[in-house]
Amino acid sequence: MLRIVIVGGGAGGLELVSKLSKKLGKKGLAHITLVDRNQTHLWKPLLHEVAAGVIDKNSDGVDYRMHAARFGYHFQLGTMSNVNAENKTIYLDPLYDDAGELLLKERTINYDYLVLAVGSVSNDFGTPGVAEHSFFLDSLSQAERFHKALLNQLLRINQEKSDSAKLSIAIVGGGATGTELAAELHHVANLAKNYGMPEMSASRLKISIIEAGESILPALPERIATSARIALTKLGVDVLENTRISSARKGAFITSDDKPIEADLLVWAAGVKAPDFIQQLGVFETNRAQQILVNKHLQSTTCETIFVLGDCCGFMQDNGKWVPPRAQSAHQMANTVAANIIGIVRGNVMKDYKYVDYGSLVHLSKYSTVGSLMGSLVSSSMFIEGRLARLVYISLYNMHQFAVHGWLKAILVLLSRKVSNIVGPKLKLH
């Protein structure tokens, strides 16, 4: 039986394992294994909401073991440390419990086809002090770590008698993550007064977004950036553009002209790269963002039995641009890899991957949603905002749920989330 191993249960990885399990696993045509270092999947565009505390991984996440039992694949909790492409074997690090006790020794998993969907990590570009003094938001554990620190700071400010006492948060990176987090934090500061912090409000919050480029949201059309900048400014967020950070220390980012931007919480959201261990494997060709280079079928350029998708995949388009690390890219890549692996089993010709940009959306909490629709959705780029943009944003998450759960289960999950939002707390307090 064909052995298919997928490493990484993010947006693309989980959608892929769902498709392959339906088409191959349940029909006895393949033995499918998913490997991930976490026990729970959460759609990565929602991490800033976990960090702010407006959603809970227990209600919005997907437990891999439960999902595997339902779809008929195998789940292995662990971190891949090495791959032997010649022997078609991957190695998983030893697994320890919270007390440091060894649970599982180093393990090996053999495969016929391997899919790497290990995502991305924050790129601090080697900026001194950033790794030691900043929060990152590229994983569920990091988002939860920031949320705990945020709650502690909200409690501290609530106890301060002076109205001049403010909670200051500096966010480096004016992309979607940074701008969406800023708006969500403003919302959370107002929510806190209803949950045991009566002296807390957004008026006691000072948020700065620091962007090295000429404009926030540099990858998006100027009209979207302008609309987002106006919305953030109305909330009292300081938008500092053309401001480069040269280092960080405890309690402050230092600009290139040696000026400190002091804050109680420092957040780095200024770019991503593929995980460092990919280059350290010495198996793949990579680009400057450490992404694995692939051919037109999304196979590694060094080994045709290894497919790559998502943020760790380096695919050069005909226009000379790399496919951007977005959820829609991972979704499209998952479809192509699924079709190609199924095609291999059935003896069909493999499909070429072609990225289609359907537009971009930025959701600024309850205050605003702005974006553009393009590609095959409309004849040309169309700017949208307000309720229409919010509806499209929600539909993207719903599409991911349908791909992961199937229609019936997804509808039940979405209904459950709707009920939870109505009857449950609006702010996670632990």
* Span 196-233, pLDDT tens digits: 899 999 999 999 999 999 999 988 888 889 999 999 99
**Domains 2-120+274-346 and 130-268 in one fold:** yes
**pLDDT grade, residue 60 (50/70/90)?**
confident
Q: Which residue has the tokens 């199924």?
A: 342
Q: Which two three-digit tokens encode residue 99? A: 């007390």
Write down the pLDDT at residue 377: 46
Q: How far is CA 14 from the centre of its chain?
A: 13
In this model, does residue 379 exceed pLDDT 50? no
Confirm if 109 and 76 have CB atoms less than 8 A apart: yes
State the CATH class of domain 130-268. Answer: alpha beta
**pLDDT grade, residue 101 (50/70/90)?**
very high
Cα dihedral 30, 35, 38, 42, rounded to 10, equals -50
Q: Which two three-digit tokens encode residue 1? A: 């039986």
Structure-model confidence comparison of residues 59 and 16, the more confident one: 16
**pLDDT grade, residue 376 (50/70/90)?**
very low
Indicate the domain borders of the chain: 2-120+274-346, 130-268, 359-423
Reported pTM: 0.90
The arithmetic mean of pLDDT across residues 160-183, rounded, is 92
Confirm if 6 and 115 have CB atoms less than 8 A apart: yes
Amino acid at 110: N
Structure-model confidence comparison of residues 160 and 128, the more confident one: 128
Of 91, 81, 82, 75, the C-alpha closest to 38 is 75
Structure-model confidence comparison of residues 133 and 396, the more confident one: 133
Write down the pLDDT at residue 69: 96
In this model, does residue 381 exceed pLDDT 90? no
60-74, 123-137, 198-212, 378-392: lowest mean pLDDT where?
378-392
The arithmetic mean of pLDDT across residues 158-168, rounded, is 86
Write down the pLDDT at residue 414: 78
In this model, does residue 331 exceed pLDDT 90? yes
CATH code, residues 2-120+274-346: 3.50.50.60
Write down the pLDDT at residue 426: 75
The arithmetic mean of pLDDT across residues 318-335, rounded, is 94
CA gap 397, 47 in Å, rounded: 13
**pLDDT grade, residue 413 (50/70/90)?**
confident
The arithmetic mean of pLDDT across residues 331-335, rounded, is 97
Written as one string, the DSSP assignment of 127-188 is: -TTHHHH-B--SSHHHHHHHHHHHHHHHHHHHH---TT--EEEEEE--SHHHHHHHHHHHHH
Share of the chain above pLDDT 90, in %: 73
